[in-house]
Structure 1
Amino acid sequence: MRVTVIGFWGAYPAAEGATSCYLFEQDDFRLLVDCGSGGMSRLQKYIDPFQLDAVLISHYHQDHIADVGVLQYAWLVQNTLQDTNKKLSIYGHPFDTAKFNSLSHQYTEGKAYDPSETLSIGPFTVKFQETNHPVPCYGMAVSNGKHQVVYTADTSFSEAWIPFAEGADLLITDTNFYKGMDGTGPGHMTSEEAGALANKARVRELLLSHLPHFGEHDQLIKEAKERYEGLVSLAEEGWTWESQ
C-alpha cells in the first residue's frame, strides 16, 4: 500500500497548494480520500484523474470536497473525448442529503457508506470513527489486509481514537493548532494531542496534516515529539509512505 499526500492545508490552500487530499494505491487500484480545494490541480502531477477507481469523502466541509465538482467535470470531458462511458464511485456519508446527492453527476455516482459497518473498496477495507467536529464527519482506518493507515479527518481529541488507531502503521492526524491552544470549538487537534494519541495508540509512524496558516510548522513536530518518541513527519505535497 502506498499513500501520497496531495493536499494538507487546513481551511484553504496556500499558493501552489491544496487542502485535504490523499491518494491511496494498492495493486494498481487508486483511491482518493477527500478532494479539497486545489486537489485536482495538484493530483495531476502524480496520476491522471481519469484513472481514479474511487473517491472516499470524510465530510462535506469545503476544504475536503471543494474539488469534487472539478473532478466531475474532468470525468465528463474525458469520457466525451475518449468516447467512453466510465463512471466513478464517490463514497460519502448520507447525513447531509443535499451534499451527498451532489456527489452524483453524469459520470460519477454517489454511494452512501454506513459508518457502523466495514466498507470494502477494491483491495481496501475501511472502518470508520465518528469525529468531534461541528458537522457529521468520519475518520477512517484503511487496510490492505496486512497494513493499516488511520486518518483522523477533522476532529478534536477524544479518548475513543486510542483503541481505533491502536497499532496503526501510519497515523495521519488533524494538527491545526499548536501546543496549549484549544481546538475543541472548531473541532481540531493540537500538536501535543496528536503526539499523545500516537503514543497511547502505539502507532509506528505519525504524520501531522491539516496544517495551520500561522506559526512555524517545525514547532508542531517539536511539540508532538514531546509526547511521542516514534517517527514524526510534517505533511507536504508529494510526501509518500509505503508499506514494507
Structure 2
Amino acid sequence: MRLIVLGCSGSGPGPDAPASGYLVDTGDARLVLDLGNGTFGALQRHLDPWELDAVAFSHLHPDHCADFTSLVVHRRYHPRPPYDPAARPLPVHAPAEAPDRFAAAYAPSAAERAETDLTDVFTFHALADGGMSGVGAATLTARRVDHLCEAYGLRIDVGGKSLVYSGDTGPCTALVELARGADVLLCEATWPHVMPQWGDEPPTGVHLSGRQAGEHAAAAGVGRLLITHVPSWFDGDELLAEAKAAFDGPVELVAPDAAYDI
C-alpha cells in the first residue's frame, strides 16, 4: 500500500499546502481520503482522476471536502472521458448527509438546489460506526469519532497491511480501537497541548494536540505515526515534538506530495 499526501494543512489551505486530502494506492485500487481546498489540483500531479476507484470522506467540513465540486465538474464535463462516467459511477463513502450537502455546494442557485442530483456520475454509500466496505481487495472500516459534526476515522486493510486515518477528532477510545495494531496511523494534531486560554488540557470533542496524537498511537500500538492537519498558525515542529514525547515509535510530520510505503 502507498500513501501520497495531497494536502495536510489544518482548518483550510495554507501558504505551502492545500487542506486535507490523501491518495491511497492499495495495489489493485486507488482511493482518495478527503478532498479539501486545493487537493483536486494536487491529485492531478499524481493520478489521472479517471483512474480513481473510490472517494471516502471522514466528515463534511469544507477543509476536508470542498474540492468534491471540482471532481463533479471533471466527471460531468470533461470533453474526452476515457469511459462513460454514467456507466461507471464513482463510489463515494461519506456521512449520510453527503448527497444533499454536495448537491447544495454544486447547485448554481438556491432555487435549483432541490433539483440537483449527482447520482448520474456517483454512487453514495453512507458510513456507519463499525461499517465495512470493499474497495477492490481492500477493506474500508469506519468508526465514529468525537468531532463537531458526524465524523469518522477510516481504516484500510489489504494484504496484511493497515493504514488508519483519524480524520478530525478529539480524544476518544474509538480511534484507539480502530487503530489497534495498525502499521500506520495518519493522525491529526491541530494545536499545542498547553495554551493560556484552556489551562492544563485542551477542550474535548474538537481536535487532538500533538501530545494526544502520540498518546493515541501508543495506546493503539501502531507501528508508525504520521502527524497531519497542522494549521498555518501553529508550529508543526512543536506538535511533532509533543507527539514524539508521548510515542516511542517512528513519528513524522507529513508534507504535501510526500509518499509513504506501508
**TM, length-normalised to structure 1:** 0.91
How far apart are the structure 1 equivalents of 2:206 and 2:188? 9
Give the distance between the partners of 2:162 and 2:184, measured in 1 at CA. Answer: 7
| 1:100 and 1:110 in contact (8 A); partners too | no
Report the residue type matching 1:193 in the other structure: Q
User: Alpha-carbon deviations, 1:103-145, whole Å to 9, x = none?
Assistant: 8354223222333321112121011111111100011111114
Per the alignment, residue 188 of structure 1 pairs with 207
Q: 1:83 and 1:40, CA in 2 relative to 1: closer, same or farther beyond 3 A?
A: closer
2:137–2:158 CA contact under 8 A, matched in 1: yes
Q: What whole-Å deviation, never above 9, does each CA across 1:25-59 have from its counterpart, x for those lacking one?
A: 02241101111110111111111112111101111
Tell me which stretches of 4 or more aligned residues in structure 1 moved more than 4 Å.
Answer: 100-103
Tell me the matched-pair count: 242
Structure 2 regions of 5+ residues with no counterpart?
105-116, 196-200
Q: Which amino acid aligns with 1:67?
A: D
Of 171, 175, 179, the residue aligned with 1:157 is 171
Q: Classify the secondary structure of the residue corresponding to 1:6.
A: strand
Cα distance, 1:186 vs structure 2: 6.3
Instruction: Give the letter aligned to residue 138 of structure 1.
Output: Y
Equivalent residues of 1:92, 1:100 under 8 A apart: no
2:19 corresponds to 1:19: yes
Question: Mapping of 1:128-143 within 5 angstroms?
Answer: 128-143=142-157
Of residues 80, 90, 93, the one that matches 1:91 is 93
Report the 3-state secondary structure (helix = DSSP H, G, I; strand = E; otherwise coil) of the residue aligned with 2:45. coil
**TM-score (ref. length: structure 2):** 0.85
In the TM superposition, residue 83 of structure 1 has moved relative to its aligned partner by: 6.8
Distance apart, 1:242 and its partner CA:
1.1
SS in 1 for 2:32: strand
Partner of 1:61: 61
CA 1:84–1:97: 2 relative to 1, 3 Å: closer
Instruction: Please say if residues 175 and 212 of structure 1, whose CA atoms lie closer than 8 Å, have aligned partners that are also in contact.
Output: no
Q: Does 1:206 align with 2:225?
A: yes
State the percentage of identical aligned residues: 29
- Distance in 1 (CA, whole Å) between partners of 2:238 and 2:8 is 17
Greater Cα radius of gyration, structure 1 or 2:
2
Between 1:177-186 and 1:114-123, the stretch displaced more is 177-186
Partner SS, residue 6 of structure 2: strand
* 2:193 alignment partner AA: K
1:60 to partner: Cα distance: 0.9
Q: Is the 8 A contact 1:205 1:232 kept in 2?
A: yes
Q: Deviation per CA, 1:150-194, whole angstroms, max 9, x where unpaired?
A: 111000112332232111100011110112245435610000001
- Quick check: 1:220 aligned with 2:239? yes
Q: Name the SS for the 1:226 alignment partner.
A: helix
Q: Deviation at 1:16? A: 4.8
Partner Cα distance (1:183, 1:89) in 2: 37
Q: Which amino acid aligns with 1:114?
A: A
| Aligned pairs (5 A) from 1:95-174 | 95=97, 98-99=100-101, 104-174=118-188
Measured in 2, the distance between the counterparts of 1:167 and 1:50 equals: 33
Root-mean-square deviation over aligned CA pairs:
2.0
C-alpha distance in 1 between matches for 2:151 and 2:55: 16
